[in-house]
Structure 1
Amino acid sequence: MAENNNANVVAEEQIVPVEDKPCTDKEAGGSGGGDVPATKNKNPFLEINNLDKALATMTLIFSIPILGFIVWIFYVRYSDCESILKLPSFQVEIGIALIFLFLISNGVVFLRSRHPVLGLLIVMVPLLLIFIIGLALVGAYKMESRSVAASPKWLRLKVFDEAHWQDIKSCIYDTGACDDLVSRTLMLKSYDFSLKKLTSIEVKQQSSLYSGCCTPATICEMEYVNATFWTKKEGVPNPSSPYVSECNLWDNDRGNLCYNCFSCKTGFLKTLQAKWWKLGVFLILASLLLFLAHLILFLSSVVKQFRS
């Protein structure tokens, strides 16, 4: 019995409770494993999904100014006697083209994930067309076609065509441009009138020469009475001046004035060119910005499909 008790005591002493220890990454990996690297924090903006959404939003923002410009086109289409040259119809065509461009651009943005290549090709066609029209309106290339309406060369040919000018001259008179000039400068003296800032139709300035539809050229040396009434002095102006013929054409009659003068045609032409040049610049900038936005969005969509 004593031997059995001693054996039990020895067995109890040999049983030692083992404490649970947390398993380290090194032990879990075995003798050949190393420390598990910690996960790096990623910038959520650089993830392809968030970047793709940001590019799509940017493309939509770039297309918003087109809507405002469409409203402007339809609002000013009957200004400056342009209906005689049938320019309002051309403005309507550009406005319709911009509407289609807006719809196509935004449609491609929403359908880019399914058909990125086809969407890029579809949007490039109207963008290229708008870009070419913009270049024509600003006269960016010398070999400019005369058939492109509202281009600088086209406008010059139309304005200086005598058949068109007769109607344009009547339109300028009917709008009362010179009558408005008289009412605005009725109390001005000669010196004050010379400092007055006027439109290209009312008066055109080249160096020290003033001319236009409503006033004679300075080289004529006429005496100022009011904006549209000038007294001719004795003597012949400088015969070498190109404005001598303008002096002979001047008439104080409100229905004549200098409407037949070269300077009047040039002033009206300058007014038209300034407006259509702005339109051309907008078309160029809008097409370039949308082209870059869609190109970057296309590349982003391709990368996204490649990674998935």
Structure 2
Amino acid sequence: MAENENNGNAVAEEARAIVAVVEEKAPCKDKELGDCGGGGGGGGGGGDDDIPKASKNKNPLLEINNLEKAIATMTLILSIPVLGFIVWIFYVRESECESILKLPSFQIGIGVGLIFLFLISNAVVFLRSRYPVLGLLIVMVPLLLTFIIGLALVGAYKMESRSVAASPKWLRLKVFDQAHSQDIKTCIYDSGACDDLVSRTLMLKSYDFSLKKLSFIESGCCMPATICEMEYVNATFWRKTGGPIDPSNPYDSDCNLWDNERGNLCYNCISCKTGFLRTLQAKWRKLGIFLIVASLLLFISHLILFLSSVFKQFRI
């Protein structure tokens, strides 16, 4: 009997030891697999050698991919204004008698160049993973040309070539060339700019007319210069008061050239040519600013996209 009792006590102690071991290992259900696997510090394949699942999700390549996709999307968005500007160029290609100076053909050439830039830019975005270096070199050529043309149109550098069409120096030479003077005068007259000014200001008094904002052509071709000090009757009819004229001032000669006849007015005046010139320069300067800004933004986005693509390939 005593022997059976001893055996029973031994079995019970072994059972309690097994239960204790199971209870000690139970919390491992809520831990990562690597923390439960080796028991002691020396067991084969301890928990320090296993990578937790949370750390596997923090892959730097995923962050690079997300950045690259964001930059690619931004590059595509930046090309949309270029497409809109192309549409504007082809639908508004002639204004303010520009055909006399053959500017519409140059404007169409810029539009065709922007079409190539749009197609090349988007093609490089889609093929960046295969040809990153070649794509960057290809897209940099039209971007550089666009940037240079934009600088020429705004007259940003003093050594500007007179052969660059629509640049400030080129426009001044063409407008003040005697070969184009009569054509410009006839075109402005046929456009009816002064007739429109009369119809819009017919009921205005002298003070109200002086406050009205006029275009460069209206103020230069349809009315005498303010230095002439003529008396206002209406927008295109002024009485000469016989004020002093300074022959050294080029604009003072316009006072003698002024004529109240509808076909003369101040079409032969220096102020009329200057107004026509400023109208052209304002338009082409805006076009040049757009080309500069668009080329710079696309250059920066393509460069960042190239660096991210190369970095991702080296990491892989």
TM-score (normalizing by structure 1):
0.89
Where does the alignment leave 5 or more consecutive residues of structure 1 unmatched? 204-211
CA–CA separation in structure 1 for the residues paired with 2:39 and 2:51: 13
Whether contact under 8 Å (2:185, 2:267) holds in the other structure is yes
In structure 2, what is the equivalent of residue 208 of structure 1? none
Match of 2:63 in 1: 47
Residues in 1 aligned to 2:273 and 2:239: alpha-carbon distance in whole angstroms: 23
Give the corresponding residue for 1:292. 300
> Match for 1:138: what amino acid?
V
Aligned to 2:10: 14
In structure 1, the residue corresponding to 2:233 is in which secondary structure?
Answer: strand
The alpha-carbon distance between structure 1 residues 306 and 8, as it changes in their structure 2 partners (threshold 3 A), is: same
User: For 2:287, which of 272, 275, 279 is the aligned residue?
Assistant: 279
2:181 corresponds to: 165
Residue 56, structure 1, aligned to residue 72, structure 2: yes
- Give the aligned partner of residue 124 of structure 2: 108
CA distance in 1, matches of 2:269, 2:312: 65
Flag the structure with higher helix content.
2
Contact 2:229-2:243 at 8 Å conserved across structures? no
Over residues 17-48 of structure 1, what are the superposed CA-to-partner deviations in whole Å (9 max), with x where a residue is unaligned? 22334286377163245767863574999711
The equivalences for 1:202-221 within 5 A come to 202-203=218-219, 212-221=220-229
How far apart, in 2, do the equivalents of 1:13 and 1:29 lie?
A: 29
Shift of 1:226: 1.2
The separation in 2 between residues aligned to 1:138 and 1:46, in whole angstroms, is 43
Deviation at 1:189, TM superposition (A): 1.4
- Report percent identity of matched pairs: 77
- Show CA shifts across 1:112-141 (max 9, x none): 011111111111010001000000000000
Partner residue, 1:251 = 259
Aligned-partner residue type, residue 304 of structure 2 = I
Q: What is the rounded CA distance, in whole Å, between the counterparts of 1:29 and 1:217 in structure 2?
A: 100
The CA deviation at 1:12 is 4.8
Distance 1:227 1:115 in 2: 64
Structure 2 residues not aligned, in runs of 5+? 29-34
Alignment of 1:1-308 (within 5 A): 10-15=6-11, 16-17=14-15, 18-19=18-19, 20=22, 21-22=24-25, 25=35, 28=38, 30-32=40-42, 39-40=54-55, 42=58, 47-203=63-219, 212-234=220-242, 236-308=244-316
**Post-superposition CA distance 1:179-212 (Å, at most 9, x none):** 1111111111122111111000010xxxxxxxx1
Q: Which moved more, 1:19-28 or 1:121-130?
A: 19-28
Q: How many residues align?
A: 296
The one-letter amino acid paired with 2:302 is H
Amino acid at match of 2:233: V
Task: Give the whole-Å Cα distance in 1 for the aligned partners of 2:203 and 2:245.
Answer: 29
Give the distance between the partners of 2:184 and 2:51, measured in 1 at CA. Answer: 81
Amino acid at match of 1:130: T
Give the CA deviation at 1:238.
4.2
Which secondary structure state, in structure 2, belongs to the residue aligned with residue 201 of structure 1? helix
Code of the residue aligned with 1:263 in structure 2: it is S
Give the TM-score of the pair, scaled to structure 2: 0.87
SS in 2 for 1:271: helix
Q: Specify the alignment match of 2:31 in structure 1.
A: none
Paired with 2:201 and 2:209, the residues of 1 have a C-alpha distance of: 7
SS at match of 2:259: coil
Deviation by residue 1:266-308 (Cα, 9 ceiling, x = unmatched)? 0000000000000000000000000000000111101111111
